[in-house]
């Protein structure tokens, strides 16, 4: 399977675009739409020069392909497009190796429609040793897409924007 435009928009929405390297809440140098490494395998460094939004979009699309390949290698369940998009968004955020080793993927592979998946999904809301409101919002949006999938991305975005906002969740450059 491949991610849809909706899945890419979901990732872009939550990652946000930043042209210059910054440290994410977990303290990892990041650039563009949440990229922690470049296509050649180099890790992002705080001293790297800025990139354009067009370059960040290309980087995201190519990186997502790597995530798809990895997730497809251990995903045995038959998912619909919304479920797959949500799973790739999660994987992009937590890393495919973390997903591969998780209880969550075992649950999905055993019964992709089990309601217990939501509980396992919501365990992925910590960064840098603390619970982050932004990750809570992201996980809720991913779960909404995974299970219901009937709302448009715009409706999901509206729902998310109406959730409480916390200052420790925002990045200031």
Per residue in 129-138, pLDDT (tens digit) is 889 999 999 9
Torsion over CA: 74, 76, 81, 85 (sign): negative
Q: How confident is the model over 57-68, as pLDDT tens digits?
A: 999 999 999 999
- Residue among 15, 68, 142, 144 flagged as catalytic: 15
Q: What is the pTM of this model?
A: 0.83
CATH number assigned to the domain with residue range 5-14+58-164, chosen from the 4 options 3.40.50.10540, 3.40.50.80, 3.20.20.80, 1.10.530.40? 1.10.530.40
- Residue among 5, 24, 115, 170 flagged as catalytic: 24
Q: Which residues contact 106 (CB under 8 A, 6 or more apart)?
A: none
Which strand (E) or helix (H) includes residue 49? none
pLDDT at 173 over 60: no
Q: How confident is the model over 106-140, as pLDDT tens digits?
A: 999 999 999 899 999 999 999 888 899 999 999 99
Least confident of 32-36, 142-146, 169-173: 169-173
To the query of whether residue 24 is one of the catalytic residues in this protein, the response is yes
Q: How confident is the model over 69-99, as pLDDT tens digits?
A: 999 999 999 999 999 999 999 999 999 999 9
Torsion over CA: 99, 152, 161, 171 (sign): positive
């Amino acid at each position: 399977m491949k991610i849809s435009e909706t899945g890419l928009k979901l990732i872009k929405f939550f990652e946000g675009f930043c042209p210059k390297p910054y440290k994410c809440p977990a303290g990892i140098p990041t650039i563009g739409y949440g990229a922690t490494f470049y296509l050649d395998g180099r890790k992002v460094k705080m001293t790297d020069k800025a990139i354009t939004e067009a370059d960040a979009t290309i980087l995201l699309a190519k990186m997502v392909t790597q995530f798809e390949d990895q997730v497809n290698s251990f995903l045995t369940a038959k998912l619909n497009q919304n479920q797959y998009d949500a799973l790739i968004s999660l994987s992009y955020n937590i890393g495919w190796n973390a997903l591969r080793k998780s209880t969550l993927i075992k649950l999905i592979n055993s019964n992709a429609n089990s309601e217990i998946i939501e509980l396992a999904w919501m365990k992925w809301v910590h960064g840098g040793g603390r619970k982050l409101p932004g990750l809570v919002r992201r996980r809720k949006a991913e779960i909404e897409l995974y299970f219901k999938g009937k709302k448009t991305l715009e409706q999901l975005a509206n729902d998310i924007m109406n959730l409480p906002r916390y200052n420790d969740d925002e990045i200031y450059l």
